[in-house]
Amino acid sequence: MLSQKFKACLWKTYKARKLTPMLTLIEIIFPAILFLLLSYAHMMTFEEANDVGNLDYMGTHYNLTNMVHDAFNNKEHVDILFSPATNATVKIMEQVFLNVFVKHKIEKKLRTFMGMSQDLHVSNWLTTKYFKEETSESAKTIGFGVVFSEKSEIFDVDFKYKLLSTSSSIKTSELFPNDFGGRGYSGDTYIQSGLPVLQWYIEKAFLEIIHGESVPFELELHSFPYPRDLDLQSHEKTFITILLPLFTMIGFIFFVPIVIRRIVQEKSTGIKELMRIVGLSSLSMWISWFIYSTLMFVITTVLVTVILGVHFTNEQSAFLDYVDLSLLWSLYFLFCVASLIFCFAITAMFNNPVAAMSCGVILWIGTFTLLNSLVLAENVPWFLRLAICIFPTAAITTGFNIIRFYDNRREFLSWDKIIETCPYSTYDMHMGWVFFMLLFDIVFYSVITWYLDCVKPGPFGIAKPWNFCFQRLKKKKCLSSKQKFMGKSTYEEPLPYLKVGIFVKKVKKIYKSGMVGLDGVTMNIYQDVITVLLGHNGAGKTSLMGILSGLYSASSGNIYFKGEDIFSDLKKFRRNLGICFQYNYLFTYLTVIEHFIFFGVVRGMSFHKARKEGENMLQLMHLVDVQHSYIDTLSGGTLRKVSLSIALIGPVTG
Domain end point (choices 197, 222, 247): 222
> Quick check: 347 and 260 in contact, CB under 8 A?
yes
Give whichever of 92-101, 164-173, 177-186 has the largest mean pLDDT.
Answer: 92-101
- Report yes or no on 481 lying in a domain: no
Residue 154 lies in a domain: yes
Q: Which pLDDT score is estimated for 332?
A: 96
Closest CA to 170 of 126, 202, 135: 126
> Is 173's pLDDT higher than 90?
no
- Please say if the pLDDT value at position 590 is more than 60: yes
Predicted local distance difference test score (pLDDT) of residue 315: 64
Helices 282-309 & 255-269, crossing angle to 10 degrees? 170
User: What pLDDT score was predicted for residue 544?
Assistant: 86
Domain-terminating residue out of 171, 199, 222 = 222
- Across 166-175, 244-253, 274-283, the highest mean pLDDT is recorded for 244-253
> 22 in a domain, yes or no?
no
Ranges 291-295, 395-399, 485-489, 547-551: which has the least confidence: 485-489
pLDDT at 584: 81
Q: Which of the four pLDDT bands, split at 50, 70 and 90, describes residue 53?
A: very low
3-state secondary structure 33-65: HHHHHHHHHHHHHCCCCCCECCCCCCCEEECHH
Residues 6+ apart with CB under 8 A from 573: 550, 561, 564, 566
Rounded to an integer, the average pLDDT of 594-619 is 89
Higher pLDDT, 445 or 61: 445
In this model, does residue 177 exceed pLDDT 90? no
More confidently predicted of 410 and 436:
436
Query: Are 571 and 603 members of one domain?
Result: no
How much is the pLDDT for 577?
72
Task: For 491-521, write each residue's pLDDT tens digit.
Answer: 667 777 788 888 888 888 888 777 888 888 8
651 against 130, higher pLDDT:
130
Give CA separation, 95 vs 61, 89, 103, 114, 432, in Å: 23, 10, 11, 13, 41
For residue 46, is pLDDT > 80? no
Q: Which of 220-224, 377-381, 595-599, 637-641 has the lowest mean pLDDT?
A: 220-224
**Range(s) of the domain holding residue 615:** 592-648
Residue 51 predicted with pLDDT over 80: no
Do both 85 and 166 map to the same domain? yes
Residues 358 and 245 grouped into a single domain: yes
Radius of gyration of the chain (CA): 37
- Quote the CA–CA distance of 650 and 596 in Å, as a whole number: 10
pTM, entire model: 0.68
| Co-location of 539 and 617 in the same domain | no
CA distance 72 to 196: 13
- One DSSP character per residue, 197-221 reads HHHHHHHHHHHHHHHTS-----EEE
Mean pLDDT computed over 227-234:
50
Mean pLDDT value of segment 202-227: 74
Residue 54 domain-assigned (yes or no): no
> 235 and 211, same structural domain?
no
Q: Is residue 587 part of a domain?
A: no
How do residues 442-458 score in pLDDT, each as one tens digit? 999 999 999 999 888 88
**Per-residue pLDDT at 326:** 94
136 lies in a domain?
A: yes
Residue 54 confidence (pLDDT) = 44
Same domain, 141 and 241: no
For residue 7, being part of any structural domain is answered with: no
Contact residues for 648 (Cβ-Cβ < 8 A; gap 6+): 578, 617
Rounded to 5 degrees, φ, ψ at 213 are -155, 165
User: What confidence tens digit (pLDDT) does each residue in 74-119 have?
Assistant: 888 899 999 988 888 899 999 999 988 888 888 888 999 999 988 8
Question: Three-state SS string across 121-184, please?
Answer: HHHHHHHHHHHHCCCCCHHHEEEEEEEECHHHHCCCCCCCEEEEECCCCCCCCCCCCCCCCCCC
User: Do residues 338 and 438 share a domain?
Assistant: yes
Residue 84, preceding bond cis, omega within 30 degrees? yes
Identify the CATH number of the domain in which residue 510 sits.
3.40.50.300
Band (52; pLDDT cuts 50, 70, 90) = very low
Number of residues that this document lists for the chain:
654
Residue 338 scores a pLDDT above 90: yes
* Residues 203, 285 within the same domain: no
Residue 570 above 50 pLDDT? yes
Percentage of the chain lying above the pLDDT 90 cut: 26
Q: Which of 78-87, 287-296, 580-589 has the lowest mean pLDDT?
A: 580-589
pLDDT at 329: 96
Q: Which of 545, 575, 605 is the last residue of a domain?
A: 575
* Between 307 and 176, residue with greater pLDDT: 307
Task: For 353-368, write each residue's pLDDT tens digit.
Answer: 999 999 999 999 999 9
> Do residue 65 and residue 188 come from a single domain?
yes
Percentage of the chain beyond pLDDT 70 is: 83
In a domain, 14, yes or no: no
My answer on whether 569 and 598 are in the same domain is no
Mean pLDDT over residues 221-246, rounded? 67
Task: Out of 1-10, 141-150, 549-558, pick the least confident.
Answer: 1-10
Q: Average pLDDT for residues 398-411, to the nearest whole number?
A: 84
Burial 290-328 (b: 16+ CB within 10 A, else e): bebbeebbeebbebbbbbbbeeeeeebebbbebbbeebb
49, pLDDT greater than 50:
no
How many independent structural domains does the chain possess? 4
Residues 448 and 543 in one domain: no
| Mean pLDDT score across all residues of the chain | 81
181 and 261 both lie in a single domain? no
